[in-house]
Every structure is written in structure tokens, then in C-alpha cells.
Amino acid sequence: MNQSLWFVAVGCLLGSWLFAFSALAAESAALQKARKEAEARGFLFVGNRDEIVAKARKEGKVKIGSTLEPEDYKPMVESFKKKYPFIDAQMEELSGAVYGEKFLMELAAGKATDWDLVHAPEDMYMRLAEHAMKFDLLGMARNGVLAINPKMVDPELRTIVSVGSALCGMVYNRELLPADKVPNKWEDFLKPEFKGRKFIVDIRPYCNAALVSVLGDEWVKNYASKLKDQQPVWSRGQTRAVSAILAGEYPMHQVANYHSCIRAQWKDPRKVLMCKIIEPVPVRLQENDLVIKTAQHPYAALLFLEHQASPEGQKVLDEVEPVKSSMFTDGEVAKLIKGKKIAINDFTTYKDGARRMKMILEAFGFPNAELK
């Protein structure tokens, strides 16, 4: 080789090494800065992914209290164990009688040691957030320590990740409701022909509360009051209500979780159940998961949290839940809302969730009608 060419080749090689070394040094400096900033605010910041995996391996177990459908547990755990076969992952339902005030009291007393990762529902969001282990999940996501889209992390609290989204729509039985009568806007439910037990309204009004983000307090409050005047069928529990519509007991549901409707459609042999999106479309960040302070396996919990936000985890949320992937991915929810006007209940509005729901319930008159 020509001597001058040899020097050029060596120079290029050294240059590439120096560039790589500089990039590594810059990354390390960025992580060090992120760690210092997090620790100054009282957060835990793990800057080395290998450290997380090593500690998770030592823990060897993780227990997740989930509000996903039980059908999700097996595929979610199996896909997780393909990545981390050394971790025994268990998902169990954490809802109903197990969840609520009793659970909050156990957390406050440091007695809720059965779980590592739990869900914070909208009406308990801030109260549960107080019991999160103070991992700086946002900083770790931004710096690539955890493979989580930073948009999924609460930007203020930094300790909660929303791994899914739920959009809402109306549900109806096409055999009981003619095509020309199907509502096209939210106000259509107030038409005279729909008065007198002609549709179902849920008394846990997550979906109606999301409309405040676009339509405002007064509109939603007045709308809720007018819904009450329509004398609807008051219900608690969307799966049961949607099943009643499928069975032909009632023609429609004013607004329900879209994924609940799709799940019921799968079981509809006659194809009479219809799921319709109305704008503005209520969209709520869902599956707001946090590692709790009393977690016995916090590092394994971090890996499971990351997995739920991964393409494999999102696929489970879309195909099994179904249609409950994060709006911040390229999943089914993002496709459904593309180009549509949405009313989103996200991290910026969660703190107002309990007040919104109370306002709507007061407008409903705290319904005490027979629940179906």
C-alpha cells in the first residue's frame, strides 16, 4: 500500500474511534447530568440498563396488579418471558372489592406488599400517585435507559407511565335502531324520540368527563342535566351494559369504551352490535402504571412496565384487550383518531378528573334508579 494511503487509512480509523469515544463520553455526561438533576429533586435515577437487568435477575419475580382484561395476562406474560426467562411474572386482577379506599389505606400503612406494579385509575390518580416509588421514569426514558416513549410518562410527576389509551363511542343495536335514527353528534341523544329509557348512561362518567377538555364545564354540565331529563337507563359497568344492548334489551348506550364494544362484537354471531365514534372523540390515557413504594421487586417491575410499552406489549393491547394501544404509538387507537377532533383526558387534566366526574354526577342528580 502506498505510504500516503496508509496514513490516510489509519487517520480515518483513528478518527472514527475518536468520534465514537466522544459520542460515548457525551452520552455519559448527559446521563450524569440527568442523574444529578433527578437526585436533586428527590428521584431515583438508574443510568445503566445493565444494572436494571442485573437487579431484576436477582429479584427473579414481579407481581402486577392489573385492570386489563384477564385474557391479556397470558399473552402479556409469555411475551415478557421471551425477553426475560429468569423472571417469574404474575399478573392478577386488581379491581372491584380489592381496589379502592381499602387499598389506599394499606398503601399508606406500608402493608400493600403483595404488588410491585399497579394501575392508577382516573378518579384515584393523584391519591395513588403519592405512593409511587420515585423512579425518574421520564428522565430514564428520555435518556434511553428505558425503551419507553417519553410521551407516555407523566411529565410532572415523572413516576407514572400510561401504556394504553381508551377512546369512547356510542354503542347501538342495528336491529333496534334504524340507520337514519343513529346519533351523529352528542346532542342527538337529547331528541324527544329518545326520552324514556331509550338509551343507557353510565354513572361512572369517564367518557363524558373527557369532553370537558374541548367543550368546557358549562356545556358538559348542562348536557349531563339534559341527559338526566331524558330519563335514561342508569347503569354501572360497561361490559354488562353493552351485553344488554347486544341481547336486545335496549337500543343504545350514550357513550362507552370503544374497546368494550369491539370485544362484545367479537362474540356477536348475528353482527347486530355496532360501535360508532362521534366527534369530538373522548380519548383517555389508560393503564397508568406505577411501581409502588412497597414493591419487593422494583427493578423487575421496571422491565415489565417497559415491556407493556414495547411493540410486543402494544400488540397484546390491540389484539387481545382489544384496541387499547397508546395513542403515542402507530397502533390501532392512533389510526382510529387520525384526522378527527378529540377531547383528551391526559396527564395535564387527570388532576381535575375527580372534580369533573363529581360535577357530572351532581348534574345527573346522583341517580338512584335501578341499575341494569
Question: What are the residue ranges spanned by the domains of the chain?
Answer: 45-163+285-333, 166-284+339-364
Whole-number pLDDT of residue 137? 98
CA–chain centroid gap for 155, Å, is 15
- Quickly state the pLDDT bin for 360 (edges 50, 70, 90): very high
First-to-last alpha carbon distance for the chain, in angstroms, is: 86
The angle at the Cα of 68, spanning 267 to 256, to the nearest 5 degrees, equals 60
**Coil, helix or strand at residue 289:** strand
8 A C-beta contact, residue 244 and residue 191 = no
Model confidence at 372: pLDDT above 50: no
Q: Which residue has cell 350514550?
A: 254
Model confidence at 15: pLDDT above 70: no
Beta carbons within 10 angstroms of residue 100's beta carbon:
12
- Quickly state the pLDDT bin for 297 (edges 50, 70, 90): very high
The cell numbers describing 255, all together, are 357513550
Proportion of the chain above pLDDT 90, given as a percent: 77
Least confident of 28-32, 172-176, 265-269: 28-32
Model confidence at 369: pLDDT above 70: no
Whole-number pLDDT of residue 14? 46
pLDDT tens-digit readout, 69-104: 899 999 999 999 999 999 999 999 987 656 778 888
Model confidence at 368: pLDDT above 80: no
8 A C-beta contact, residue 208 and residue 360 = yes
Q: Which residue has the higher pLDDT, 30 or 205?
A: 205
Whole-number pLDDT of residue 96? 62
Model confidence at 343: pLDDT above 70: yes
- Quickly state the pLDDT bin for 61 (edges 50, 70, 90): very high
Whole-number pLDDT of residue 97? 56
CATH superfamily of this structure's domain 166-284+339-364: Periplasmic binding protein-like II (3.40.190.10)
Model confidence at 153: pLDDT above 50: yes
Q: Which residue has the higher pLDDT, 28 or 313?
A: 313
8 A C-beta contact, residue 116 and residue 292 = yes
Q: Which residue has the higher pLDDT, 270 or 17?
A: 270
Model confidence at 18: pLDDT above 60: no
Q: Where are the alpha helices (DSSP H) in the chain?
A: 3-40, 49-59, 73-83, 101-108, 125-129, 137-142, 206-210, 212-229, 238-246, 258-266, 298-309, 311-319, 332-337, 353-364
Whole-number pLDDT of residue 329? 96
Beta carbons within 10 angstroms of residue 260's beta carbon:
27
Model confidence at 302: pLDDT above 60: yes
The angle at the Cα of 346, spanning 167 to 185, to the nearest 5 degrees, equals 40
Mean pLDDT score of the chain, rounded to an integer? 90
pLDDT tens-digit readout, 109-137: 888 788 999 998 877 888 899 999 999 99
Amino acid at 89: A
What is the pLDDT averaged over residues 57-69?
95
- Residues sharing a CB contact under 8 Å with residue 12, sequence separation 6 or more, in sequence order: none
Domain 45-163+285-333 and domain 166-284+339-364, same fold? Reply is yes
Least confident of 13-17, 84-88, 259-263, 308-312: 13-17
Whole-number pLDDT of residue 122? 79
Model confidence at 280: pLDDT above 80: yes
Q: Which CATH number fits domain 45-163+285-333: 1.10.760.10, 3.30.530.20, 3.40.190.10, 3.30.70.590?
A: 3.40.190.10
Least confident of 23-27, 44-48, 213-217, 269-273: 23-27
Whole-number pLDDT of residue 8? 41
